[in-house]
Chain A
Amino acid sequence: MADEVFDLRLYVAGQTPNAVRAFANLRKICDEHLAGRYRIEVIDLLEDPQLGRGDQILALPTLVRRLPEPIKKIIGDLSNTERVLVGLDLRPRQKGPHD
């Protein structure tokens, strides 16, 4: 997994505060954890509304990990770095105190 390229798509609809925050958070996380092996494509549904159907987008922003498979979706402004890392399978789920 260490050398796999992450193909990420960030769906937004215009430059909303959530969208701007999500993009900044995503860049930061990727630079810290996936340096040199990630690709981010930002899709603005205001420009390409027909693309919302393909990835079943409802909530915005939505981050879709297209590669590596399986597809993962993370909704929200990605402000919780830990949860984003878990969602992207970059970190195992936190173990509880009793595990």
Chain B
Amino acid sequence: MNDVRPTLRKARTGIPGLDEITLGGLPAGRPTLVCGGPGSGKTLIGISFLVNGAVLFDEPGVLMSFEENAQELAQDVASLGFDLAGLIEKKRLVVDYVHIDRSEIAETGEYDLEGLFVRIEHAVKTVGAKRVLLDTIDSLFAGLPNETILRAELRRLFRWLRDRNLTVVITGEMGETTLTRHGLEEYVTDAVIQLDHRVLNQISTRRLRVVKYRGSYHGTNEYPFLVDEDGVSVLPLTSLALQHEAPAERVSSGLERLDEMLGAQGYYRGSTVLVSGTAGTGKTTLAAHFADAACKRGERCLYFLTEESPQQMLRNMRSAGLDLKRWVDGGQLQFHADRPSRYGLETHLVMMHRAVEQIRPDVVVFDPMTNLLTIGTPMDVRAMLTRMIDFLKMRNVTAVFTGLTSAGSDLETTETMISSLMDVWVLTSLEEFERRRRRWMYVLKSRGMAHSDEMREFRITSGGIDILPPHTAEGGGR
């Protein structure tokens, strides 16, 4: 295809997720407005853009801070791992604290804001800056008596910044009926990002939305973002296209006989597996076999636990003959244990993303996935899992999710929403027969392969799961 549209040059923010939503970053050489209420994270996003520019992209920056002085700023961002003082010393960053106190200023006659221009220009020249953050320009409205002059000068300032090809982030306070309290969106027409911080069901979620991005496609959803000791990261909720690869490579389920049921070769690499069943059917043990096999192959496994502690899980698996501790000690198996109720769904999603990005596993287990239903509606959980699965598939990570089916509930209705996302669905069940509980498993579906349609009996022994051969299962012979 011939694409003749001129491509807009973009400046990467280095904020995970934000560059994906904006398809490459903020418009280079132009101003972007970041607006939101108090505490919504405007300054943090702006500073991340500056610091990442200086550290990652060889684009030094200038911070014109209208609200906080250099010491206050350095303290605020030190918890995010940013070393402003170090960057200033290395001449990668200039912080100029702009303070105006209306009470000590008298006004008589005509003036302009050339002093601000001179200061910005001086700072830009000092470090050869390519990026500028103006945080928060609203303070000027409180500090200067003549709004007419101020508005004319702001208009001139943004033209001036564009003429110098500076990539600029301007932060602005949210307005009641307008995007910003002082209508800054009037001056910044290239890109506008809106931040929101709300608390629902006592769980706080930060969200980000690209309201406008002239000349570029961008994701239009509200995207949750997270601020923690690793900085800011935004979570693209839905990938923009289903474009992950579908590798033909196979990985073992960890059980030879289950592999046999799956076209004799196990799961496809990068596929998503649901193992569901009522309590005590052996779902975790099945997942643990999968993790164990991955580690044996020399792969890395990330194991999310939403109910048990890692210690408890390791002990239980040891009694089933699976020594997972050696993989933990060797660093191949890492646990990530959190109660779902600690955070909102989206925060969980962001944290899972981050764990996957840091640990870079080959396989992931989420046990049990159904616990997420305690903090969101099935629709929300499904939406979240869709994003998680997309993300894992993009990275070619094979994932096993366990799902607890509550006894008596209709399996089809409770799990249909989620199972349709899965490539493979393995069902486990218990059946009482002659005063003994017998375990069964069968492959309900497995996309893209001929799979067994048999119900197979299995036992959990001190040597792990033992799937009985079809002919010897009681009552199962042909």
Judged by a CB distance under 8 angstroms, whether B358 is at the interface is no
Q: B92-100, B187-195, B264-272: which lies at the A interface?
A: B92-100
Interchain CB contact under 8 A, A75 and B111: yes
A99 → chain B, closest Cβ, in Å? 20
Q: How many chain B residues touch A (Cβ–Cβ < 8 Å)?
A: 25
Interchain CB contact under 8 A, A13 and B106: no
What 1/0 flags go to B106-123 for Cβ under 8 Å of A?
111111111111110110
Judged by a CB distance under 8 angstroms, whether B105 is at the interface is yes
Closest chain A residue, CB of each to CB of B100: A58
Complex Cα gap A59–B119 (Å) = 11
Interchain CB contact under 8 A, A58 and B98: yes
| Residue of B99, B118, B121 most packed against chain A (CB within 10 A) | B118
Instruction: List chain B residues, Cβ under 8 A from A49.
Output: 118-119, 121-122
Judged by a CB distance under 8 angstroms, whether B144 is at the interface is yes
Closest chain A residue, CB of each to CB of B143: A58
Interchain CB contact under 8 A, B118 and A80: no
Among B113-147, those with CB < 8 Å from A are 113-119, 121-122, 140, 143-144
Please pick, from B110, B113, B115, the residue contacting A79 in the complex, using a CB distance under 8 A. B110
A12 → chain B, closest Cβ, in Å? 9
Interchain CB contact under 8 A, A83 and B104: no
Q: Which range contains the number of A residues in contact with the other chain?
A: 35 or more
Interchain CB contact under 8 A, A13 and B105: no
Complex Cα gap A94–B144 (Å) = 22
Interchain CB contact under 8 A, B109 and A46: no
Please pick, from A25, A73, A79, the residue contacting B105 in the complex, using a CB distance under 8 A. A73
- Tell whether A59 pairs with B118 under 8 Å between CB atoms, given A74-B106, A75-B107, A87-B106: no
Please pick, from A52, A83, A86, the residue contacting B118 in the complex, using a CB distance under 8 A. A52
Instruction: List chain B residues, Cβ under 8 A from A13.
Output: 114-115, 117-118
Interchain CB contact under 8 A, A18 and B110: yes
Please pick, from B98, B108, B110, the residue contacting A56 in the complex, using a CB distance under 8 A. B98
Closest chain B residue, CB of each to CB of A17: B110
Instruction: List chain A residues, Cβ under 8 A from B105.
Output: 59, 73-75
Instruction: List chain A residues, Cβ under 8 A from B117.
Output: 13
Interchain CB contact under 8 A, A76 and B111: yes
Complex Cα gap A70–B103 (Å) = 12
Interchain CB contact under 8 A, A18 and B112: yes
Complex Cα gap A74–B105 (Å) = 6
| Residue of A58, A60, A75, A86 most packed against chain B (CB within 10 A) | A58
Instruction: List chain B residues, Cβ under 8 A from A84.
Output: 106, 108
Instruction: List chain B residues, Cβ under 8 A from A46.
Output: 118
- Tell whether A87 pairs with B108 under 8 Å between CB atoms, given A58-B113, A59-B113: yes
Judged by a CB distance under 8 angstroms, whether A34 is at the interface is no
Complex Cα gap A45–B120 (Å) = 12
- Tell whether A58 pairs with B106 under 8 Å between CB atoms, given A49-B122, A52-B122: no
Instruction: List chain B residues, Cβ under 8 A from A75.
Output: 105-108, 111
Complex Cα gap A75–B113 (Å) = 10
Judged by a CB distance under 8 angstroms, whether A50 is at the interface is yes
Among B406-431, those with CB < 8 Å from A are none
A57 → chain B, closest Cβ, in Å? 4
Complex Cα gap A46–B110 (Å) = 19
Q: Report which B residues bind A (CB closer than 8 A).
A: 96, 98-100, 104-119, 121-122, 140, 143-144
Q: When A and B form their complex, which 4 residue pairs have the shortest distance between CB atoms, in order from nearest? A: A76-B109, A49-B122, A87-B106, A77-B109
Extra contacts besides A59-B112, A59-B116, A71-B104 (11): CB < 8 Å:
A13-B118, A49-B118, A49-B122, A52-B115, A56-B100, A70-B104, A73-B105, A75-B105, A76-B110, A80-B109, A86-B106
27 pairs from A and B in contact (CB 8 Å cutoff) = A21-B109, A22-B109, A25-B109, A45-B114, A52-B118, A52-B119, A53-B96, A56-B98, A57-B115, A57-B119, A58-B98, A58-B115, A58-B143, A58-B144, A59-B111, A59-B116, A60-B112, A60-B118, A62-B115, A70-B104, A72-B106, A74-B105, A75-B111, A79-B108, A79-B109, A87-B106, A87-B108
